[in-house]
Structure 1
Amino acid sequence: MNSISVLGARLGHVVRKMTTPQPLVLCGPSGAGKSTLMKKLTDEFVNNFGFSVSHTTRQPRAGEEHGVHYFFVTRQEMQEAIGNGEFIEHAEYSGNLYGTSKKAVQDVLSKGKICILDIDMQGVIQVKNTDLQAQCVFIRPPSIEDLKKRLLARGTETEESLARRLSVAEKEMEYGTLKGNFDLVVVNDEVDQAYQELRAFMLPAIQLQNSN
């Protein structure tokens, strides 16, 4: 291959890299309001975002479909795939493995959509060690006390589960506010204001995507 061909190949790689939407990683404690902000974003920009389908080793629940809600696989299958480097992030909860495969993200990106990943702190740490080049946003409540009130208002927490969630939230908020860990930190005190911050952050990527 001559020097012109090499230069052309490199330029082609750069152009593809620039025109491929960057995934959006959303992280934050349970009760911080990630789902609400995510829904507002995808409702307003319905054609711009897509969600990757995660893998899990747990059994399907009533109404769940393979390939729609999750890819339901065996522990052996998932462990082998993780060992082969096929996952960008994975974790274990309540004895079951969960994770996001590289292919699941690429399937969304190949459609020209911004792939949203709603993952926890451990997932973010793993994603930052890949070449995914995601935009990472941390959604946090104003304080732990405010988060406790929100979780209690749900009426779904036991004393034990509440204490566990708050303990995890403290660690997440400590990590989330360290400089350099996230591209944007949104304090979700008032939903509409928090959404405007998230929207303003994502608007350049959305406009670039729409221009392609």
Structure 2
Amino acid sequence: AEQFASLTIGFLLYRLPLFLGQSKELLGSWDDDEVTLPGSVGLAMKMAEEDEMQYGTATSDLDKLTPVLVVSGPEVAGRSELVQQLIDESDGRFVTPTRVDRLSDELTFTRMKDNGEFLFVDSSGRYGTTNEGILTAGTKGTSAVVIDADVETTKRLTTVTGARLIGVWISLNSVLKIKSKIEAQVDDGEVDLKPDETKDSYVRDRMQRVVKEIEYGVLSGIFDFTILNFDNEKSLAELRQAAEYCFR
């Protein structure tokens, strides 16, 4: 329990300054006595204390859960690329969930979607993922499921009964770097602006989402590891280390 408490405190001490520093870059300067964090740090600490009290009695229950590696963070931070590299090099040790393919069986896909059986559907609308598809894709002790998840998908994953989530948050070490990458996407034609959108309005809206995503990353209690992705090789090594907790 003491080790768990130390890890929790260290996590909060690390993440809060990161969030404050990034938000300050984005939103401008303020006096120390004016700083207020979105959400509730008090609630986060309360949740951590409750987890600590339950930690000793819940260990055996954890063994019954299916480990799922959830990798999340701002879209432009290189999250998807790192997840794919982890899967490709793992020789089957890390796998994606079993999904229902609309093109393979459109009738089944449509029925399941209409019945609300999918936890989420990918951005193309082709693949649907169910709770069962997550829990049964891996083999205990041999392979584990890894999910490349945006924040909204991560929130849905927290509702999967029977899963033990190992959360990894991947970001950059500066909100301004995230902003620059979003601007580059627009400049390179990777983003289709709506008729009523300008580059500035698009970037502003995206950055507002980024701040909310960082808030969730700090306060949700979902993420056990943080990777600041400024060196691909180093970040992949850190992701490998975090992923091994699926087998502990």
Question: Which residue number in structure 2 is paired with residue 118 of structure 1?
Answer: 148
| 1:27 is the counterpart of 2:58 | no
Deviation per CA, 1:121-174, whole angstroms, max 9, x where unpaired? Answer: 122222223321121111112222101222333411342544443332221111
- Partners of 1:203 and 1:186 lie apart in 2 by 15
| 1:138 is the counterpart of 2:169 | yes
CA drift at 1:93: 6.7
Identity level (%):
23
Task: Tell me the matched-pair count.
Answer: 177
CA contact (8 A) 2:97 2:133 kept: yes
Question: Which residue number in structure 1 is paired with residue 181 of structure 2?
Answer: 150
CA drift at 1:203: 2.7
Q: 1:97 to 1:176 in 2, by over 3 A?
A: farther
Deviates more, 1:112-121 or 1:26-35: 112-121
| 1:78 is the counterpart of 2:113 | yes
Corresponding residue SS for 1:177: helix
CA drift at 1:73: 2.6
| 1:102 is the counterpart of 2:131 | yes
Deviates more, 1:174-183 or 1:102-111: 102-111
| 1:90 is the counterpart of 2:117 | no
User: 1 or 2, which has the higher helix percentage?
Assistant: 2
Corresponding residue SS for 1:108: coil
Question: Which residue number in structure 1 is paired with residue 241 of structure 2?
Answer: 200
TM-score by length of 2: 0.58
- Partners of 1:190 and 1:178 lie apart in 2 by 26
- Partners of 1:205 and 1:120 lie apart in 2 by 20
CA contact (8 A) 1:53 1:71 kept: no
Corresponding residue SS for 1:31: helix
Deviation per CA, 1:89-133, whole angstroms, max 9, x where unpaired? Answer: 337979x69752022113412484211112221222222233211
Unaligned runs of 5+ in 1: 1-13
What CA RMSD, in Å, does the superposition of the two structures yield over aligned residues? Answer: 3.5
Moved over 6 A (4+): 91-94
Q: 1:91 to 1:41 in 2, by over 3 A?
A: closer
- Partners of 1:108 and 1:129 lie apart in 2 by 18
Corresponding residue SS for 1:130: coil
CA contact (8 A) 2:77 2:171 kept: yes
